[in-house]
Structure 1
Amino acid sequence: MTAPGLRVLIVEDNLALRSQLAGLLEAQGHRVDFAADGRTGLALALADPPDVMVLDLGLPGLEGLRVCERLRLEADRHVPVLMLTARDAVEDKVRGFEAGADDYLVKPFAGAELLARCLALARRHRVGEPVRLRVGGLAIDRRTHAVTRDGQPVELPNIPYQLLLALAEAWPRTLTRSELVQKVWGEEAPQSDPLRSHLYVLRQALDRPFPTPMLRTVHGVGFKLEPDA
């Protein structure tokens, strides 16, 4: 475990599970804050953003999907959210990601997996980084999912947006096809080629209205962004 530890906010109404998670995280040197309902969890996350939020879906006061949506709208930086829930249907996971979750862990879970996912989220989202990301003339607001290029709005569906965000966060590095699939779909990747149609939509929105393409194919390697400014 790397030092210093993470500060993790657990929003979970089950007292026994909160205690279990606290012991697990604190044993590895992480600091833990708690909320037993959605409204309190949202207020804590906005007042003092944690490194990672572990968020249950079935919460009193304000359920988990709404907490995540409001966090994305109101926070001044990106707070990585790991949704923790007994709902394991693909449709539930899709709703979670559409609400702004970064990862999804189904109960019951192994403690080692939860620890690994929290650490991976903190690394992936560069804890404490401002909510606005820039690559040349491209600007991405992680809070609202608003994208502009040279000041012009770029309208994107969810999956092309997630692909663009992954490429922007990795810039100037090239991401392989398998890295893109993992970042967007995790372990739930479709069986057929999931990238082709979504990359086409991304190119049409990001590059077609402009004289210079930003999304580049690195043959034999993968894809990268090439800033135009």
Structure 2
Amino acid sequence: MEPQSKGSVLLVEDHQDIAELVYDYMEGVGYELDYAPDGEVGINLVAQNEYDAIILDLMLPRRDGLSVCRELREKMGKTTPVLMLTARDTLEDKLKGFETGADDYLVKPFEIEELEARVRVLIKRGHSSPSVTDALRVGAIEFDQQSLVVRRDGQELILSPIGYRLLKILMERSPGVVSRQDIEREIWGDMLPDSDTLRSHMYNLRKVIDKPFPKSYLQTLPGIGYRLCDPDGAH
């Protein structure tokens, strides 16, 4: 009896030595892998197959990782978790990656065991079915958890996969404050990200749900956490 697969993973990486290392290790510990040497091939494979996770290099020939991730999210409507690999580790670069829909970020050089652990967390999170109740509402923001449709003042808002999870956490506990530690634990489990990751995702969430509107719902309490509350309601 063959051991059960840990999940299907698409690896998009143009550096042959890195690709071979990741492919051989991940296959050796029980994953099924497809490989793409550039962004165009990666997009074609995603169009033809369903994957549990995608390992996506940032600097790729033909189409870079940001362009690929944006296409997956905005044009193809794919919610497959994406782990971005890059040699760039500035906050600005991470913001760009998360803005296009990446779920996690790993800076080169990396330990192969950490990469596998992060992929495992992404797959587990993608397979977990959140408890779905009635639509959530905070003031003018509505979140239908069945259809993953978010609206503010009747206008539909498009979030990243992690953006939906963050909004759900904040809406369920509104108008209470949710600590940074609680959010990180709920999103990433034991594989806690670096200090910029949550800040980057919150920045992108705020840009979608608040920036186009005159009043802000998402509040940052320095050193404490975050909360979502109706600016026109009683706090």
Residue among 195, 199, 219 paired with 2:225: 195
Q: Is the 1:141–1:147 Cα contact (8 Å) retained in structure 2? A: no
**Residue 159 of structure 2 corresponds to residue 152 of structure 1:** no
**Residue 183 of structure 2 corresponds to residue 180 of structure 1:** yes
Distance in 2, Cα, partners of 1:120 & 1:102:
11
Distance in 2, Cα, partners of 1:86 & 1:58:
9
1:97-176 aligned at under 5 Å gives the runs 97-126=98-127, 135-136=134-135, 138-139=143-144, 147-148=150-151, 152-153=154-155, 162=162, 165-166=165-166, 168=168
Deviations 1:161-187 (A, max 9, x none): 956523538998999621314538932
Amino acid at match of 1:203: C
Amino acid at match of 1:100: G
Distance apart, 1:27 and its partner CA: 1.0
Q: Is the 1:46–1:74 Cα contact (8 Å) retained in structure 2? A: no
Is there any run of 5+ residues in structure 1 with no aligned partner, and where? 218-229
Deviations 1:120-160 (A, max 9, x none): 00111227x7xxx8852623699xx96227x92365898xx
Amino acid at match of 2:144: A
Distance in 1, Cα, partners of 2:155 & 2:109:
42
Deviations 1:31-50 (A, max 9, x none): 11000110110121122121
Deviations 1:197-221 (A, max 9, x none): xx3xx433xx85xx9x9xxx9xxxx
**Residue 64 of structure 2 corresponds to residue 68 of structure 1:** no
CA RMSD of aligned residues (A): 3.9
Percent identical among aligned pairs is 31
Is there any run of 5+ residues in structure 2 with no aligned partner, and where? 137-142, 200-220
Query: Paired residues, what number?
Result: 195
Q: TM-score scaled to structure 2, two decimals?
A: 0.67
Q: Is the 2:11–2:35 Cα contact (8 Å) retained in structure 1? A: yes
Could you list the structure 1 runs, at least 4 aligned residues long, displaced by more than 6 angstroms after superposition.
Answer: 169-175
Distance apart, 1:24 and its partner CA: 0.8
